A and B are shown apart, each in its own frame.
Chain A
Amino acid sequence: MREITLSQAVNEAIAEEMRRDPTVFLLGEDVAEAGTPFKVLSGLVEEFGTQRVIDTPISEPGFMGLAVGAAMTGARPIVDLMFGDFIFLVMDQLCNQAAKIHYMSGGKLNVPLVLRTNMGATRRSAAQHSQSLQALVAHIPGLKVAMPSSAYEAKGLMKTAIRDNNPVVIFEDKLMYQDKAPVPEEEYLIPFGVANIKREGTDITLIATSSMVQVAEKAADLLAAEGISAEVIDPRTIVPLDEAALLKSVRKTSRAIVIDEGHQSYGITAEIASRLNEKAFYHLDAPVLRMGAMDVPVPFSPALEDVTVPTPEGVAANARKLCAGDMIHAA
């Protein structure tokens, strides 16, 4: 199968959907001529013109509000938020308006809007351009949240998101735009709420999102050399969450580490760990661990930045402790 980059996969997904459905349009800062700073959307303005690929002024609340209105009145906007960190600027439009309109209108109105943005540290972009803020939106009922872990997921989840009749937020890892993966030429969609078992194992479950799936897979390689068999699961969407798949795996392995690049406290990892604890308690042979980014503003210093996020070695070290029954002093 051909391999394309995550960036190309997103571009293909959007282009295909724009060809299929004339109500789909793109808007955001530098999406048209520049094709975004990451060049993800290059070429789209040439095909679809400036009516459907719209460069906006630097005013996130403005164009996000515009998109919510457009979505309510029949269009299917894809809003490009240049950095995930800017999501703070669109919180009211996203969380108070888009997320609630379907509910508050008694189902009479839909908001078929996609907010595509990014996450991920270790790009030396400092504290205001390196955050992974998926937990903020996953907390709000009415928003779906997808976190692609490769080009394959990026394309299939984006197409599903565009066809969803209510708001979806997609976080792409900005360090993975050039990562290649096999992507079929023929059309496919990835349904929301279906986890992907990346690798089967029997001793411990590593539940990882987005970029952390790679970290978990590398950790699983390290562990395999020592005779520890790790299962790696990518939930793909954190809202809706494929809880059944996660529980099934943990009931099999009796141990789990949940890994996400958002800050560890009050994060995605805590939510998933808590559900495992509630629903698989009597199958657990060790405490469920969370691994997220350190609870600090992401440092600019490369040496410091690199230690704030989970690494394969760190995951493997924790997995070893869990398998050895060594967590008694962890708390």
Chain B
Amino acid sequence: MPRNATSGAGPHDVTMPQLGMAQDAGRIVAWLKAAGDTVAKGDALFEVETDKATMEVEAQASGFLTAITAAEGDDVPVGAVIARISDSAEDDSPAPAPAAVSTSAPDHADDLPKGQPVTMPQLGMAQDSGLLVSWTKNLGDKVAADDILFEVETDKSTMEVPAGMDGYLAATLAEPGEDVPVGATLAIISTDKPDAPTARSATSIPAPSAAKAPPAPAATTPARAEEQPAPKPQPAPAAQDRILASPKARRLALERGLNLNNLVAAGHPQPFHARDLDVLANLPATSPAAATARTATIRLTAEIATEGLTAFAQWAAANHGFTDRDVLLAGMAGASLSQPGIIAIERHGHSRGFAIPADRALSAITRSDDRPDLILRDLRDTALRSVTTGAEGTPVLTLMSGHVGLILTLECSVDQMSAPAAIALLSAFAGRMEHPLRHLL
């Protein structure tokens, strides 16, 4: 009977297992542990003999063996409590009912019909629950002890289970399709015809006998998780819609204490990726003054022919081994800056930085991931013909394909570059791109 409804590591009742299909009792051949002994889950606890075989039964919990109520040589009905595994050697909670005495109706059953409980049988050694497939008797039916009462499915098989006693089916406490822990009360059989037969679902069944871990019908997730603890979920965004962001972007935002909502508010296109966090980190504070500053931007556009650039690139590759065209681009942009600096070339959302040497020599350009002074955004293989993105953290020079040549757009804020400096930069760059040989002069 369910005599312990507390959760956690309370005492665990040891019951006579059902080791065969037709078995309804077993004889205790020998106790392999004595009262007061410590037992570990999996230890052989006692030996039981049925009409088919003699076998050792393992402890299903760890603790101290207490309250043995069945002696060696006793015949004990299947499901009867014969001992307890407790947290201490001196368990002072009430001893279980004597093994051979059948159990009474569950304690919680004050509003249930009176009668004898029918419990979910243990059909396999390692089974801790069974799926109720169907009831084969109707509520209120008269049943005989060997009438089939219900069908149960375990991970191994499906089988029919007899009522075990004569009477009337007064209550069913689980519905077909429900997974019911071994030992939980499934039905009540009354001696007299019940006045008010009751049907309930298994969710109303209290914890099964003893402190068996709550049954988990759905397999739990295997514990093979990432060694890093998963970050806590992002605080609920202020915006109504879910923010689209990559897992990495979300993790980095959490680690760096950045709020993705600010990117949303800034109108940055979603989904957000890891690189967008740099944009986020550089977002100006959203004060009115800052907003005004952001609007004070410079946008210049130039259009040039491309033949010179193509020819120069081929010549440089063939004669000087400049196969990386980005070096040429960076070199020409760097030479157009008033001071040597870092040029980042962005393409397909990916960025490569180059450090321009003081003498502006193409051969001395090196890779650099330092913060760029100018971003060269290459959109030549897109269909874009014009961009107005507003000033970013760094001046941006955008390359686009026009109908005949290249379209160059420079955008920056007045803080980053004065208007004359911006005009000088774009003019110099456009000149070099159109007539690259000038670069060598």
Verify if B320 is at the interface (C-beta below 8 Å from A).
no
A209-239 interface with B by 8 A CB criterion: 225-228
Q: Which of B231, B274, B348, B349 has the most CB of A within 10 A?
A: B348
Q: Are the CB atoms of A282 and B348 closer together than 8 Å? A: no
A328 to B251, CA, bound (A): 19
Stretch in A126-134, A261-269, A317-325 with 4+ CB within 8 Å of B: A317-325
Please tell me if the beta carbons of A286 and B348 are within 8 angstroms of each other in the complex: no
Among residues 250 to 276 in chain A, which have CB atoms less than 8 Å away from a CB atom of chain B? 254
Residues facing B in A297-331 (CB within 8 A) are 320, 323-326, 328
A325 and B273 within 8 A (CB)? yes
- Please tell me if the beta carbons of B348 and A285 are within 8 angstroms of each other in the complex: no
Query: In the complex, A240→B348 CA distance in Å?
Result: 36
Q: Nearest chain-A residue to B228 (Cβ)?
A: A282
In the bound complex, CA of A284 to CA of B273 (Å)? 9
Pick from A227, A282, A326: contact of B231, CB under 8 Å? A282
Q: Which B residues are in CB contact (< 8 Å) with A227? A: 326, 345, 347, 350, 352
Nearest to A327 among chain B residues (CB) is B271
Q: Which of A225, A284, A325 has the most CB of B within 10 A?
A: A325
The A interface, classified by DSSP as helix, strand, loop or mixed, is loop
* B138 within 8 Å of A (CB atoms): no
Instruction: Kindly list chain B residues whose C-beta atoms are within 8 Å of the C-beta of A283.
Output: 247-248, 251
Q: B226 at the A/B interface (Cβ < 8 Å)?
A: yes
The reply on B30 being an interface residue by CB < 8 A is no
Question: Which residue of chain B lies nearest to A224 when distances are taken between CB atoms in the complex?
Answer: B324
Inside 8 A of B323's CB, which chain A residues have their CB? 225
Whether B273 contacts A286 by the Cβ 8 Å rule is: yes
Q: Does B311 contact A (CB under 8 A)?
A: no
- Min CB gap B246→A, angstroms: 4
Q: Does B126 contact A (CB under 8 A)?
A: no
A323 near B249: Cβ-Cβ < 8 Å: no
- The answer to whether A324 touches B251 (Cβ under 8 A) is no
**A279 interface residue, CB < 8 Å from B?**
yes
B244, A328: Cβ atoms closer than 8 Å: yes
Taking CB as reference atom, which chain A residue is nearest B276?
A: A325
Which residue of A is nearest B323, CB measured? A225
Contact of A254 among B224, B230, B248, B347 (CB under 8 A): B248
Q: Tell me if A294 counts as interface (CB < 8 A to partner B).
A: no
**Any B CB within 8 A of the CB of A280:** yes
Q: Are B349 and A284 in contact (CB under 8 A)?
A: no
- What is the CB-to-nearest-CB distance from B377 to chain A, in angstroms, rounded to a whole number? 12
Looking at chain B, what size class is its interface with the partner chain? 20 to 34
User: Are the CB atoms of B246 and A286 closer together than 8 Å?
Assistant: yes
Is the interface on chain A under 10, 10 to 19, 20 to 34, or 35 or more residues? Answer: 20 to 34
B116 → chain A closest CB, angstroms: 45
Contact B247 A325 (CB under 8 A): no
What is the minimal beta-carbon distance from B351 to any residue of chain A, in angstroms? 8
Given contacts A227-B326, A227-B345, A254-B248, contact A282 B230 (CB under 8 A): yes
CB distance from A288 to the nearest CB of B (A): 11
Closest-CB distance, A134 to chain B (whole angstroms): 24
Bound CA–CA A285/B274 (angstroms): 6
Cα of A29 to Cα of B324 in the assembled complex, Å: 52
Interface membership of A172, Cβ < 8 A: no
Closest Cβ of chain A to B341, distance in Å, is: 19
- Contact partner, B349, options A280, A325, A328, Cβ 8 Å: A325
Interface presence of A203 (CB below 8 A): yes
Q: How far is the CB of B191 from chain A (nearest CB, A)?
A: 52
Pick from B230, B244, B246, B345: contact of A284, CB under 8 Å: B246
Q: How far is the CB of B186 from chain A (nearest CB, A)?
A: 37
Contact B271 A282 (CB under 8 A): no
Residue numbers in B under 8 Å from A280 (CB-CB): 226
Q: Within B238-254, which residues are at the interface with A (CB < 8 Å)? A: 244, 246-251
* A228 x B247 contact (CB < 8 A): no
User: A254: which B residues are within 8 A, CB to CB?
Assistant: 246, 248, 274
Which residues from chain A contact B326 at a C-beta distance below 8 Å?
227
Task: Please give, as numbers and ranges, the residues of chain B lying within 8 Å of A278 by CB-CB distance.
Answer: 224, 226
- What 0/1 readout, one digit per residue, does chain A (186-212) give for beta carbons within 8 Å of chain B? 000000000000000001000000000
Q: B226 touching A282 by the CB < 8 A rule?
A: yes
Nearest Cβ in chain B — how far from A229, in angstroms?
A: 9
Q: Which residues of A contact B248 (CB under 8 A)?
A: 254, 282-285
Question: Known interface pairs A280-B226, A282-B226, A284-B247. Does A324 touch B348 (Cβ–Cβ under 8 Å)?
Answer: yes
A281 contacts B by Cβ under 8 Å: yes
Q: Which residues in B have their C-beta under 8 angstroms from that of A281?
A: 226, 247
Chain B residues near A320 (CB-CB < 8 A): 348
With A279-B226, A282-B226, A282-B230 given, is the CB distance from A226 to B251 under 8 Å?
Answer: no
Minimum CB–CB distance from A319 to chain B (whole Å) comes to 9
Q: Which residue on A lies nearest to B249, using beta carbons?
A: A285
A20 to B348, CA, bound (A): 55
Tell me, in angstroms, the Cα distance from A281 to B323 when the chains sit together: 36
Distance, CA A279 to CA B225, complexed state (A): 7
Q: Given the complex, which residues of A lie within 8 Å of B249, measured CB to CB? A: 285
CA distance A324 to B378 in the complex (A): 13
Q: Can you name the residue of chain B whose Cβ is closest to the Cβ of A203? A: B350
Contact B271 A325 (CB under 8 A): yes
Q: Report the minimum CB–CB distance from B242 to chain A (whole Å).
A: 13
Report which residue of B225, B270, B324, B347 has the largest number of chain A beta carbons within 10 angstroms of its beta carbon. B347
Are A324 and B350 in contact, with the CB atoms below 8 A?
yes
Contact across chains for B246 and A323 when beta carbons are under 8 A apart: no
In Å, the complex CA distance between A284 and B246 comes to: 7
Chain A nearest Cβ from B65, distance in angstroms: 32
15 other contacts beyond A254-B246, A280-B226, with CB at 8 A cut-off? A203-B350, A227-B326, A227-B347, A228-B350, A254-B248, A278-B224, A279-B225, A281-B226, A281-B247, A282-B250, A283-B248, A285-B249, A323-B349, A324-B350, A328-B271
A-B contact pairs, 18 of them (CB 8 A): A225-B323, A226-B347, A226-B348, A227-B347, A227-B352, A228-B348, A278-B226, A279-B225, A282-B231, A282-B250, A285-B247, A285-B249, A286-B246, A323-B348, A324-B350, A328-B244, A328-B270, A328-B271
